[in-house]
């Protein structure tokens, strides 16, 4: 399994029990990204990086282009593969060979050093090759550098930010936080909130989520009032029919005091690959388009009332009122079906 079994990783060869520094660094020369890589044997090889170690005065700058050490990631569950030219922190720890000899150790890479404090790229090409014997001038095969701003942190936040202007914030209401934000309204400090954002709007030196201007957002609130701009007018507030008006719904921007899940983007697709799409609400379901504002309960009440009127329909004739319509049995059947659906 992996390079250890192939004998290709100098830090993972059998009998490698030399005392090594616990922490060291190395410049990334190559990364196994997929099964087309020449060093790939099976999927356990994904994430291995070829590095030139730094910090050894005796060998500094003396490793040829064809040389270097292949080492695996310390954690594959949560990982950000480094780019070529970035410097990774490496930790010495036990290897599979310890099952035979408990003294056997090897290096694993942890993460790239944020040398430039940059979100997108932190390459320091050829830092391990001071004599320029190897020109490590490519970040990768497909990677393109972009100017990405960091996320604005508030006290206690946990934020995961990708290289390409996307992020996850596990945060909270911060009423007096500076700079201000759009979600700390209608709730108290410490009330939890979670953003999943892709494509941030320009909000200054650091990104602060803006659900109306980010390219796409999934927002999970607890008690916050969110000033969301609807794509079209919200569903009808009241519909007057003989059975009485429908109870109005709270406007989108007026809701607070309880949790919401809000999904916002230029287009939304809900696709049930095998089964059904189910919408259920304790109160009402509203639908809104450029042409219609619909309250589902109101629409069903209107249809039921219309069928009731049709079953009772009569017309004046020279001989008096007509009898029930010929289609009355059909209207009655449809009415019964509608009544069976009513909660």
User: Which of 112, 138, 161 is the last residue in one of the domains?
Assistant: 112
Determine the pLDDT at residue 172: 97
Indicate if 51 and 157 belong to the same structural domain.
no
Residue 8 pLDDT class (50, 70, 90 cuts): very low
Determine the pLDDT at residue 306: 87
Determine the pLDDT at residue 68: 81
Model confidence pLDDT, tens digit, residues 16-26: 555 678 899 99
Determine the pLDDT at residue 338: 87
E strands along the chain, which residues?
23-31, 49-54, 69-71, 87-94, 105-112, 158-161, 166-172, 192-198, 216-220, 261-265, 286-288, 293-295, 316-317, 320-321
Determine the pLDDT at residue 287: 86
Q: What is the dihedral of CA 26, 109, 20, 130, to 10 degrees?
A: 0
Between 105 and 343, where is the model more confident? 105
Model confidence pLDDT, tens digit, residues 73-101: 999 999 999 999 999 999 999 998 889 99
Indicate if 189 and 89 belong to the same structural domain.
no
| CA-based radius of gyration for the chain | 32
Residue 199 falls within a domain, yes or no?
yes
Task: Give me the mean pLDDT over the 139-159 stretch.
Answer: 94
Between 109 and 308, where is the model more confident? 109
- 216: number of CA atoms within 13 Å, CB side? 7
Alpha-carbon distance 181 to 253, whole Å?
A: 16
* Residue 58 tokens, joined: 């005796």
Indicate whether 298 pLDDT > 70.
yes
Determine the pLDDT at residue 126: 86
Indicate if 106 and 154 belong to the same structural domain.
no
pTM: 0.83
User: Which of 60, 95, 112 is the last residue in one of the domains?
Assistant: 112
* Average pLDDT for the chain: 85
Question: Phi, psi at residue 132, to the nearest 5°?
Answer: 60, 30
Residue 267 falls within a domain, yes or no?
yes
Indicate whether 57 pLDDT > 50.
no
The residue length of the chain stands at 343
Determine the pLDDT at residue 19: 63
Count how many domains the chain has. Answer: 2
Residue 150 pLDDT class (50, 70, 90 cuts): very high
Indicate if 61 and 159 belong to the same structural domain.
no
What are residue 68's DSSP bridge partners? none
Determine the pLDDT at residue 211: 94
Indicate if 270 and 190 belong to the same structural domain.
yes
- Number of helices and strands in the chain (H, E): 3, 14
Task: Give me the mean pLDDT over the 260-266 stretch.
Answer: 96
Domain that holds residue 185: 148-227+250-278
Indicate if 85 and 171 belong to the same structural domain.
no
Indicate if 106 and 156 belong to the same structural domain.
no
Alpha-carbon distance 232 to 28, whole Å?
A: 51
Indicate if 99 and 219 belong to the same structural domain.
no
User: Which of 62, 92, 112 is the last residue in one of the domains?
Assistant: 112
Model confidence pLDDT, tens digit, residues 225-240: 999 988 886 655 555 6
Residue 341 falls within a domain, yes or no?
no
Indicate if 103 and 16 belong to the same structural domain.
yes
Indicate if 105 and 9 belong to the same structural domain.
yes
Give the Cα-Cα-Cα angle 145, 150, 154 (nearest 5 degrees).
170
Residue 157 falls within a domain, yes or no?
yes
Contact between 112 and 82 under an 8 Å Cβ cutoff? The reply is yes
Model confidence pLDDT, tens digit, residues 176-189: 989 999 999 889 99
Q: Tell me how far CA of residue 190 lies from CA of 146, 154, 178, 197, 295, in angstroms.
A: 34, 11, 15, 21, 35
Residue 331 falls within a domain, yes or no?
no
Residue 168 falls within a domain, yes or no?
yes
Between 137 and 122, where is the model more confident? 122
Indicate if 106 and 40 belong to the same structural domain.
yes
| Lowest mean pLDDT, pick from 60-69, 135-144, 240-249 | 60-69
Neighbours of 285 (CB within 10 A): 14
Alpha-carbon distance 98 to 105, whole Å?
A: 7
Indicate whether 272 pLDDT > 80.
yes
Task: Give me the mean pLDDT over the 305-317 stretch.
Answer: 84
Residue 72 falls within a domain, yes or no?
yes
Residue 163 pLDDT class (50, 70, 90 cuts): very high
Determine the pLDDT at residue 11: 41
Determine the pLDDT at residue 299: 85
Indicate if 64 and 153 belong to the same structural domain.
no
Residue 64 pLDDT class (50, 70, 90 cuts): very low
Q: Any residues with CB less than 8 A from the CB of 242 and at least 6 apart, and which?
A: 305
Indicate whether 309 pLDDT > 90.
no
Residue 198 falls within a domain, yes or no?
yes
């Amino acid at each position: 399994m992996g390079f250890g079994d192939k004998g290709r990783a100098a830090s993972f060869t059998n009998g490698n029990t030399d005392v090594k520094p616990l922490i060291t660094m190395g410049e990334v020369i190559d990364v196994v990204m997929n099964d087309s890589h020449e060093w790939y044997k099976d999927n356990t090889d994904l994430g291995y990086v070829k590095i030139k170690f730094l910090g050894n005065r005796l060998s500094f700058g003396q490793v040829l282009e064809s040389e270097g050490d292949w080492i695996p990631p310390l954690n594959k569950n949560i990982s950000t593969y480094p780019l070529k030219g970035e410097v990774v922190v490496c930790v010495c720890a036990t290897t599979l060979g310890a099952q035979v000899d408990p003294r056997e150790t090897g290096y694993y890479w942890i993460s790239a050093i944020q040398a430039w404090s940059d979100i997108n790229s932190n390459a320091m090409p050829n830092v391990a090759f001071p004599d320029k014997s190897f020109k490590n001038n490519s970040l990768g095969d497909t990677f393109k550098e972009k100017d990405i701003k960091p996320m604005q942190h508030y006290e206690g936040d946990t934020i995961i930010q990708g290289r390409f202007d996307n992020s996850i914030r596990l945060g909270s209401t911060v009423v007096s936080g500076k700079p201000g934000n759009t979600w700390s309204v209608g709730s108290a400090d410490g009330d939890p909130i979670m953003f999943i954002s892709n494509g941030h709007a320009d909000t200054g030196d650091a990104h602060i989520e803006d659900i109306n201007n980010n390219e796409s957002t999934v927002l999970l609130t607890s008690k916050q009032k969110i000033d969301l701009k609807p794509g079209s007018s919200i569903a009808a507030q009241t519909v007057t029919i003989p059975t009485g008006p429908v109870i109005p719904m709270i406007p989108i921007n007026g809701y607070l005091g309880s949790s919401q899940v809000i999904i916002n983007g230029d287009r939304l697709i809900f696709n049930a690959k095998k089964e059904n799409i189910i919408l259920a609400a304790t109160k009402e379901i509203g639908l809104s388009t450029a042409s219609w504002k619909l309250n589902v309960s109101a629409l069903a009440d209107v249809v039921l009332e219309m069928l009731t009127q049709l079953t009772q329909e009569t017309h004046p004739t020279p001989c008096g009122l007509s009898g029930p319509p010929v289609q009355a049995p059909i209207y009655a059947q449809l009415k019964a079906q509608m009544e069976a659906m009513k909660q």
